[in-house]
């Protein structure tokens, strides 16, 4: 009878196994602000876009990119009378508060955007809370009113754009300071629109230079096509897709892939630009 004696590899031999393999590069975190629409909340928007979040994480992982999506809730609480088409219950007070929020409130008489400063200050606070020492938010994704805000935010954070005085100057400086003076790498806008108030004209003149990706709903009956096109026309070389649905964020793989490609392109181009300096 033969007995085969075995023994473990020596420490030196073990160290040599796979020694010639290169270590995997660490993943680059991408922080993205997710701005909900009028009447929504951050958690509600998260639940509606969870499938999109999973596709982003899965699709960007092989590229060593790790997206972190941040969902703040707007600070302006709405009442039943603030919501078009809202049917109040018989015993419900029209002044009662709902779990519905807005980044600003449009004044019906003047068209002005009331409480926009509060909305932008909430964005600045969120950025501060979610970036580490020397870190930044990389981009923004917004839907409907949040889409309009995403475009305004990208414009306000651009280097070289002249900022006015007053409230606009206060919140513009606040979001710039929160991100360490760094502009956004991209802005993705679902069913967004141009903001016409005169005091906001500085955000569109000159045109928004930050790379923008626009998704428009072919059957959208909430935001008129002319309003969305007004925003597209005020962006430099915008990328535009029209999906066959209505006023919502399409989360299927078919519509997530253009988003993945856009984010990858914007991040890589920005990183290449830094390395060339």
Residue spans per domain, the chain: 34-81+96-275
- 219 contacts 244 by C-beta, under 8 angstroms: yes
Residue 81 has what pLDDT? 84
As beta bridge partners, residue 214 has 189, 240
Report the CATH superfamily, name and number, of domain 34-81+96-275. Alpha/Beta hydrolase fold, catalytic domain (3.40.50.1820)
**Burial degree of 111 (CB within 10 A; 0-12, 13-18, 19+):** exposed
Q: Are strands 186-190 and 101-102 parallel, antiparallel or unpaired?
A: unpaired
Q: What is the mean pLDDT of residues 67-94?
A: 83
CA–CA separation, 2 and 270 (whole Å): 66
Confidence at residue 267, expressed as pLDDT on a 0 to 100 scale: 94
Q: What is the pLDDT of residues 161-201, one digit of tens each?
A: 999 999 999 999 999 999 999 999 999 999 999 999 999 99
Distance CA 140, CA 246 (A): 22
Cα atoms in the 13 Å half-sphere on the side-chain side of 80: 11
Q: What is the share, in percent, of the chain residues with pLDDT greater than 70?
A: 86
Residues 6+ apart with CB under 8 A from 149: 35, 103, 119, 120, 123, 142
pLDDT of residue 5: 41
Least confident of 10-24, 211-225, 260-274: 10-24
Q: Which range, of 66-70, 78-82, 180-184, 205-209, averages the lowest pLDDT?
A: 78-82
- Residue 15 — very low, low, confident or very high, per pLDDT cuts 50/70/90? very low
Compute the mean pLDDT over every residue in the chain, rounded to the nearest whole number.
Answer: 89
pLDDT value, residue 26: 82
Burial of 242 (0-12, 13-18, 19+ CB in 10 A): middle
| 206 preceded by a cis bond (ω within 30 of 0) | yes
Average of per-residue pLDDT across 246-259: 97
- The neighbour count for residue 258, using CB atoms within 10 Å, is 15
More confident residue, 26 or 156: 156
pLDDT of residue 10: 46
Compute the C-alpha angle 95/97/100, nearest 5°: 125
CB-count exposure of residue 237 (10 Å: 0-12, 13-18, 19+): exposed
Supply the pLDDT for residue 247: 98
Distance separating alpha carbons of residues 25 and 64, to the nearest angstrom? 7
Task: State residue 12's pLDDT score.
Answer: 44
pLDDT per residue as tens digits for the range 95-151: 677 999 999 999 999 999 999 999 999 999 999 999 987 889 999 999 999 999 999
Indicate whether this model's pTM tops 0.75. Answer: yes
């Amino acid at each position: 009878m033969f007995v085969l004696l075995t023994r473990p590899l020596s420490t030196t031999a073990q160290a040599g196994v796979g020694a010639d393999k290169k270590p995997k590069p660490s993943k680059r975190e991408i922080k993205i602000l997710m701005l909900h629409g009028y009447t929504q909340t951050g958690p509600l928007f998260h639940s509606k876009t969870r499938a999109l979040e999973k596709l982003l994480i899965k699709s960007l992982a092989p590229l060593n990119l790790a997206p972190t999506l941040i969902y703040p809730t707007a600070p302006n609480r709405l009442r039943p009378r603030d919501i078009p088409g809202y049917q109040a219950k018989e015993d419900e007070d029209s002044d009662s508060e709902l779990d519905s929020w807005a980044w600003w409130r449009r004044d019906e008489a003047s068209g002005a955007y009331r409480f926009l400063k509060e909305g932008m200050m909430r964005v600045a606070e969120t950025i501060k809370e979610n970036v580490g020492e020397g870190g930044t938010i990389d981009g923004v994704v917004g839907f409907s009113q949040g889409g309009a805000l995403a475009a305004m935010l990208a414009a306000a954070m651009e280097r070289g754009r002249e900022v006015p005085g007053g409230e606009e100057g206060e919140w513009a400086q606040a979001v710039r300071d929160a991100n360490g003076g760094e502009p956004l790498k991209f802005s993705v806008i679902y069913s967004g629109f141009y903001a016409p108030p005169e005091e906001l004209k500085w955000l569109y003149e000159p045109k928004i230079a930050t790379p923008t990706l626009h998704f428009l709903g072919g059957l959208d009956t909430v935001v008129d096509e002319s309003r969305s096109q007004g925003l597209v026309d005020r962006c430099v070389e915008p990328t535009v897709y029209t999906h066959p649905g209505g006023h919502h964020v399409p989360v299927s793989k078919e519509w997530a892939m253009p988003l993945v490609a856009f984010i990858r392109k914007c991040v890589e181009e920005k990183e290449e630009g830094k390395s060339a300096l």
